[in-house]
Amino acid sequence: MRKLIAIIMLFVLGDAFAQDAFKTGEYFKFRIHYGVVNAGYATLEIKDAVKSGKKVHHVVGNGYTTGMTKFFFKVTDLYESYFDKETGQPYQYVRKIDEGGYKKDQEGFFNQGNNTVLVKDYKNNKQKTISVTENVQDIVSVFYYLRNHPKVDNLKVGESISVDMFFDDEVTKFKLKFIGREDISTKFGTVSTMMFRPLVQAGRVFKEEESLTVWISDDGNKVPVRIKASLAVGSLKADLDEYRGLVNPLQIKSKK
């Protein structure tokens, strides 16, 4: 369940950056539903920070269950990422989670020159250095990296973008397939979107590789508007509930 929550939170994305689709001060809040139940919320906010004497993006992501859900499966998650404003390469990530008793308290420090990550595990008082691929992303920075990817707007149906992502002490090939465009109804009105399917590992959580669908606003912001996941038991949906600080006004075809 922990990998699913991470994807929902932080979706709830290269070779070079296009015009920035985001800026300091951008904020998203998502309402997460399990079936008809309001299960919780996830937020993402971009702040400024300094690493190695250089101004960088600092993204803070929080996820938490609410209402009756927290009595059955309590979640309090904190994800952070520090990444370069020009290249998108991550400097550092933070992962501090408690998901139904499953806990992690980690920081990772990227050495892009040596292609390594120093992972500090505070829960177990351990640390290790892991070799990674060139230009690898963390689970938070990959979301922003792909939003700025130059190929996103020119994809044809069935085409994909792939990027290496570091998660759970290993490098995973994160593949995002474009499946078309669709106008969807949101609390803000009708929004034109691009639909993507991240390829995920089938098994205990997901029904199959393509069980996750993401709707991204078809404009200069590339805002995640909706996420749906078909699970082995039931379904999960996250809808954009609040936003501010966008680079461009969100394109709404008709307001409610």
Residue 161 located in a structural domain: yes
User: Torsion angle, CA of 14/20/26/27, rounded to 10 degrees?
Assistant: -40
d(CA 233, CA 106): 30
* C-alpha to C-alpha distance for 79 and 235, rounded to whole angstroms: 23
At 17 the pLDDT is 40
The Cα 65–Cα 40 span in angstroms is 4
> What are the phi and psi torsion angles at 62 (to 5°)?
-125, 140
Strand residues in the chain grouped as ranges (E): 27-34, 37-51, 54-65, 75-84, 90-99, 102-111, 116-121, 126-131, 137-138, 160-167, 170-186, 189-198, 212-217, 224-230, 235-244
pLDDT of 203 reads 44
Q: Write the CATH number for 184.
A: 2.40.360
pLDDT over 90 at 23, yes or no: yes
Please report the pLDDT score of residue 18 as a whole number.
43
- Indicate the burial class of 233 (C-beta count within 10 angstroms; 0-12, 13-18, 19 or more): exposed
* Site of tokens 């190695």: 52
Over range 38-51, report the average pLDDT.
Answer: 94
Q: What is the mean pLDDT of residues 198-205?
A: 54
Look at residue 250 and tell me if it is in a domain.
no
> Residue 130: pLDDT above 90?
yes
Residues 183, 186: Cα–Cα separation, whole Å: 10
Phi then psi dihedrals of residue 211, to 5 deg = -85, -10
Model-level pTM greater than 0.75? yes
Q: Which tens digit of pLDDT belongs to each residue from 158-174? A: 999 999 999 889 998 88
Q: Of the candidates 132, 222, 213, 129, which has an alpha carbon nearest to the alpha carbon of residue 178?
A: 213
Among left, alpha and beta (phi > 0; psi -120 to 50; other), residue 94 is beta
Per the structure, the complete domain to which residue 113 belongs is given by 2-244
The number of domains in the chain is 1
Say which residues have a Cβ less than 8 Å from residue 124's Cβ, sequence separation at least 6. Answer: none
253 domain-assigned = no
**252 domain residue, yes or no:** no
When the pLDDT of each residue in the chain is averaged and rounded to a whole number, the result is 86
In a domain, 164, yes or no: yes
Comparing 153-157, 220-224, 225-229, 251-255, the range with the smallest average pLDDT is 251-255
- Per the domain annotation, does 146 fall within a domain? yes
